[in-house]
Amino acid sequence: MTNIKEVAKECGVSVATVSRVFSGSDPVRPETRERVLAVAQRLGYSPNMLARGLKKARTQTVGIIIPSIDNSFYLGILKQIEIILRKKGYRMLVSFLQHGGTSERDAISLMASSRVDALVFTPRDRSNADLIGALRENTGLFQLFTDTYETIDSVTVDDAGGVREAVSLLLKEGHRRILYVGGDPRVSGYYSAYADAGLTPEDGLVCLDWSADEAAVCRMIREKKPTAVFSVAGQSEKVWSAFRSLSLKVPEDVSLIVYDDSVWARLLGITAVAHPLEEIAERLCERIFLRLEGNETAGEGGKITVSPFLIRRESVAPSASGTGNQ
Amino acid sequence: MTNIKEVAKECGVSVATVSRVFSGSDPVRPETRERVLAVAQRLGYSPNMLARGLKKARTQTVGIIIPSIDNSFYLGILKQIEIILRKKGYRMLVSFLQHGGTSERDAISLMASSRVDALVFTPRDRSNADLIGALRENTGLFQLFTDTYETIDSVTVDDAGGVREAVSLLLKEGHRRILYVGGDPRVSGYYSAYADAGLTPEDGLVCLDWSADEAAVCRMIREKKPTAVFSVAGQSEKVWSAFRSLSLKVPEDVSLIVYDDSVWARLLGITAVAHPLEEIAERLCERIFLRLEGNETAGEGGKITVSPFLIRRESVAPSASGTGNQ
DNA sequence: TTGAAAGCGCTAACAA
DNA sequence: TTGTTAGCGCTTTCAA
């Protein structure tokens, strides 16, 4: 592959001049510039970012590690981020985690040896604190959707708030037996909503078990006869399938709100709590650029929380069993 | 950041020895090896891939350019590919194209200057033949889902075959007025299916207009009164919405088969033609490794076509209007 | 089994 | 405005 030396020779200038033309670091006489550009084009020259990175100790690369949860919105955000990054001249190196496959540890090592300028990740725990600690001196670190390390910047979504808003809506429509199918951290929003309304949920209405399958969901529905269901990402599909197999109609027989909007929620007219993907990507990249190009060293306003929002569609109806008692 | 020299000094060996330990290029005395590893660990040493890449003219990186179509399965395949690549020690650099944003040309240049060992892309046309031509000497080039350049390896899906199979099924169920909503290249499968059955489709049953919106689809359905619809990826959602607004029940009032399986097709019980994502990722990576690590220089079996497959669910019913005439 | 040293392609002083 | 040159951190002959 053509290198800077060949371009310089062919052009009758020094390598420094060619370098200046391509990096824009110093002014170059316009005519010389044109000539260099023309020759480079003719020879198919493309600056070697490896060499540049080695010299400058900056790779113009941001690494991102995607956890193995397959929330499809994660991939949407990946796209958003890459596009913003590209506009600023950054590349994106991605690594997907996989149950039983690549460990977060390996992925971090990979990013480290690739000398990414910044790393975006979603640490579940602090088991790789050692690696992370070694990285933080030279690498911009950013937690996405989590705030596992207090000392590292983060962009998170106020999940509990989103749940609370959704459950409050259900309560306002008169529902009292609202089944919650989802994860642990967010469930606090469920209880807050009940508390806000001065109510207490019946026992057995909360399913925090991620491994609950369709059959388990069916069982809960048959047992507790909820008038509404609130379900989180991966579980919503099971809930929907359960409704189908129980021949329950939405919203006639049961109301439904899902956490995490998706194509299918939209198509089915299901009211959903959505993440502001663009906002997340923008705020995150903003912080990245500040860290990489600004004079900022670390934190200071490094903890960002964005609010999810409710998209009302047609899966919620007033409770048939009246608005007061259960 | 710690470099090889510091590790060497701290260890009392030469940089060459440390290099050998980390690259595994030459045998190193076990005791020395252990000592080097221990020191490296203690110092938090991580080999600099930039320097290595510069020296070896190999980056262990595969670039992938994702076109702006947002077929969600594209992102699934991205994940599959990255996981396979990682197992073999490769990194993945991704770039998303965007309508009105990043051009394919820019993305290719980026990959070129990053000196990726291989590039996977989906060229719509040959407008960047010049860049591609310059790359092919040193970079493994692979077309995914398209075969725009005859001289470049490709992994494609037999779309026309998939359409044909689906439409044949509809025909077999007695449907005669089958509306086709989708793109140009695949429509040949529609005609083949009719031809196979010794039939000719009525006029006006084929909509090749990608910009057709829900209203347009509604209009077609009202006009032509199809007993079945076959729709492609991006259009299927519009078709479904159209059914909803026309209060058409599937499969009672109209049968439906969609091209490209998705979460929502599954949840709604819609029969779909699916891509074998794992197979595509595997075959592609297989070729990449062969090119990068084998002794192979180019082509030879470089054109791979995989077959989509039909997933039967409950959106197809026998035509109510009889099996013979329309 | 190990070490010394040249050089991958680039940038950034420093000099002119 | 341009050229010379010393490295960035690594691999890899060649010698020992």
Do A119 and A61 touch, CB atoms closer than 8 A?
no
Tokens (6 digits) for A173 = 């429509």
* Distance (Å) from the alpha carbon of B12 to chain A's nearest alpha carbon: 23
Tokens (6 digits) for A316 = 């919620």
pLDDT recorded at residue B325: 37
**D5 C1' to B103 CA distance, Å:** 38
Q: Is residue A70 predicted with pLDDT exceeding 70?
A: no
Preceding amide of A251 cis, omega within 30: yes
Q: Is residue A323 predicted with pLDDT exceeding 50?
A: no
Q: Is residue A57 predicted with pLDDT exceeding 50?
A: yes
pLDDT recorded at residue B100: 78
pLDDT recorded at residue A209: 87
Q: Is residue A134 predicted with pLDDT exceeding 60?
A: yes
Q: Is residue B326 predicted with pLDDT exceeding 50?
A: no
Residues 6 or more apart whose Cβ sits within 8 Å of residue A133: none
Q: What is the pLDDT of residues A234-269, one digit of tens each?
A: 899 999 999 999 999 999 999 999 999 988 899 899
From chain A, pick out residues whose CB is under 8 angstroms from the CB of B237: 263, 267
B5 touches strand D (CB under 7 A): yes
Tokens (6 digits) for B160 = 């026309």
Summarize the confidence of residues B5-27 as an average pLDDT: 96
Q: Is residue A281 predicted with pLDDT exceeding 90?
A: yes
Q: Is residue B322 predicted with pLDDT exceeding 70?
A: no
Q: What is the pLDDT of residues B177-224, one digit of tens each?
A: 999 998 888 899 999 999 999 999 999 999 998 888 899 999 999 999
Instruction: Give the pLDDT band (50/70/90) at residue B295.
Output: low
**Closest chain B residue to the Cα of A80, Cα to Cα:** B96
Summarize the confidence of residues B305-312 as an average pLDDT: 97
Tokens (6 digits) for B292 = 């990068």
pTM of structure: 0.92
Residues 6 or more apart whose Cβ sits within 8 Å of residue A297: none
Q: Is residue B298 predicted with pLDDT exceeding 60?
A: no
C-alpha Rg value of chain A to the nearest Å? 26
pLDDT recorded at residue A324: 39
B23 touches strand D (CB under 7 A): yes
The DSSP bridge pattern shows strands A91-96 and A228-232 to be: unpaired
Q: What is the pLDDT of residues B77-123, one digit of tens each?
A: 999 999 999 999 999 999 999 887 789 999 999 999 999 999 999 99
Closest CA to B79 of A262, A99, A117: A99
From chain A, pick out residues whose CB is under 8 angstroms from the CB of B110: 86, 91
pLDDT recorded at residue B323: 42
CA distances from A219 to A73, A211, A231, B225 (A): 29, 14, 15, 42
% chain A with pLDDT above 70: 96
| Closest protein CA to C1' of nucleotide C11, residue | A55
The DSSP bridge pattern shows strands A271-274 and A303-306 to be: unpaired
Nucleotide closest to residue B5 (CA–C1'): D9
Residues 6 or more apart whose Cβ sits within 8 Å of residue A20: A26, A27, A28
Q: Measured at the alpha carbon of residue A8, what is the angle toward residues A3 and A13, in degrees to the nearest 5?
A: 165
Q: Measured at the alpha carbon of residue B144, what is the angle toward residues B142 and B147, in degrees to the nearest 5?
A: 85
pLDDT recorded at residue B324: 39
Summarize the confidence of residues A63-89 as an average pLDDT: 89
Instruction: Mark yes or no for CB contact A264/B267 under 8 Å.
Output: yes
Closest CA to A154 of A278, A296, A304: A304
The DSSP bridge pattern shows strands A228-232 and A206-207 to be: unpaired
Summarize the confidence of residues A213-225 as an average pLDDT: 93
Q: What is the pLDDT of residues A116-128, one digit of tens each?
A: 999 999 999 999 9
pLDDT recorded at residue A34: 96
pLDDT recorded at residue B310: 98
**D9 C1' to B274 CA distance, Å:** 48
Q: In this structure, which long-range contacts are made by residues A103-110, counting pairs with CB atoms below 8 Å and at least 24 apart in sequence?
A: A104/A65, A104/A128, A105/A131, A106/B86, A107/A65, A108/A65, A108/A132, A108/A135, A109/B46, A110/A63, A110/B86, A110/B91
pLDDT recorded at residue B34: 96
Q: Is residue A225 predicted with pLDDT exceeding 50?
A: yes
Hits for CB < 7 Å against strand D across A residues 167-226: none
From chain B, pick out residues whose CB is under 8 angstroms from the CB of A241: 267
Nucleotides of D under 7 A from a protein CB: 1-5, 7-13
Q: Give CA torsion, residues A294, A297, A300, A303, to 10 deg.
A: 90
**D8 C1' to A55 CA distance, Å:** 4
Selecting from A46, A54, A102 the residue whose C-beta is nearest the C-beta of B113 gives A46
Instruction: Give the pLDDT band (50/70/90) at residue A325.
Output: very low
